[in-house]
Amino acid sequence: METVQTEKKKKILSCIQPSGIPTLGNYLGALKNWKTLADEFDGAFAVADLHAITVRQDPAKLRQQTSEVLALLLAIGLDPEKSVIFVQSHVPAHAQLAWVLNCYTQFGEMNRMTQFKDKSTSHADNVNVGLFSYPVLMAADILLYQADLVPVGADQKQHLEIARDIANRFNGIYGNTFTVPDPYIGKNGARVMSLQDPSKKMSKSDPNPKGFVSVFDTPEVIMKKFKSAVTDSEACVRFAEGKDGINNLMGIYSCCTGLTMDEIANQFEGKGYGDFKVEVANAVIEELRPVRERYNQIITDKAYLKEVAAKGADTASRIAGRTLNKTMKKVGFLMP
């Protein structure tokens, strides 16, 4: 009888910080595709709460937001029976490996990280060592799970490069220890910009609440925010240079409907921006409706959330523990 060998799935890792409710930009740019990644790859998905404390957090709020983001990962369709879904701080190996890797990372490499420069400016009253070295913790996250692939946006490319550099450096000294990860460039998710200032990325930390849509905003709030979105004076729905507001709305509509820019322009030919904004809002409302409904069911089931977190931590700890033990032995630590 002929044995059929199935090709081993590549491993992929994605993490999200519990620093507030994700925006429509987070959802369309990344989260929407995580279910597809989980089906296609051997996936690990983490709530990166250790990363969140580089900025001072309110303890009760951090706990609440960690539970909310965990519930959201389940609401977007991730299955804890098929993927490893866990809270980062529940797996101590992350902090342990980060310390070891700190000792194999050069100060000059960290000093070149553009996000540190940006964040130290916006948080000038708390420029802590964690803020400086958190790319090493990010490297530990990736390397612990021997991830082959890591989905990255433009603002994370530098961090994946440093993870690759650290892995190569360590492997060069001690022999093959870590998988050197590659970036995963999937189908284009929308790069969603602020509804009030389309030159800036949509952000949950935007001081103007009209600038961003939360994945848990009600249909009424979503409609109101899109109706007040910045456009231009041309009153013509077309994708073109200098039409940042309309380009942003068209990108969002395209991501929700699957229509191309030309198809959108044809659909709204002869119609004003008012009609277009309403239809974009309706598309977003329908896109987020099943996620919000599923989330509302999950977030009230505390026992289920606790069970998912415990199961995820157990599985993640086993995987991470193998890598950590191998690393510790190679460095020369006396093992228990």
The domain limits of the chain are 11-189+302-331, 209-296
Say what the pLDDT of residue 154 is.
63
Burial 83-98 (b: 16+ CB within 10 A, else e): bbbbbbbbbebbebbb
pLDDT along the chain (336 residues), means of 10: 62 92 91 92 96 92 96 96 97 97 90 72 74 91 96 77 96 97 76 93 90 95 96 91 94 94 94 95 97 95 97 98 97 94
Whether 204 is catalytic is yes
Say what the pLDDT of residue 188 is.
55
DSSP string, 299-336: TT-HHHHHHHHHHHHHHHHHHHHHHHHHHHHHHT----
| Selected catalytic residue, list 119, 225, 243, 277 | 119
DSSP string, 74-91: HHTT--TTTSEEEEGGG-
Whether 119 is catalytic is yes
Residue 12: phi and psi, rounded to 5, are: -135, 145
| Selected catalytic residue, list 10, 32, 117, 201 | 201
Say what the pLDDT of residue 187 is.
63
- Tell me whether domains 11-189+302-331 and 209-296 share a fold: no
Per CATH, the homologous superfamily of domain 11-189+302-331 is HUPs (3.40.50.620)
| Selected catalytic residue, list 9, 32, 200, 204 | 204
Class of domain 209-296: mainly alpha
Whether 201 is catalytic is yes
Say what the pLDDT of residue 4 is.
47
The span from the CA of 145 to the CA of 156, in Å, is 18
Say what the pLDDT of residue 6 is.
52
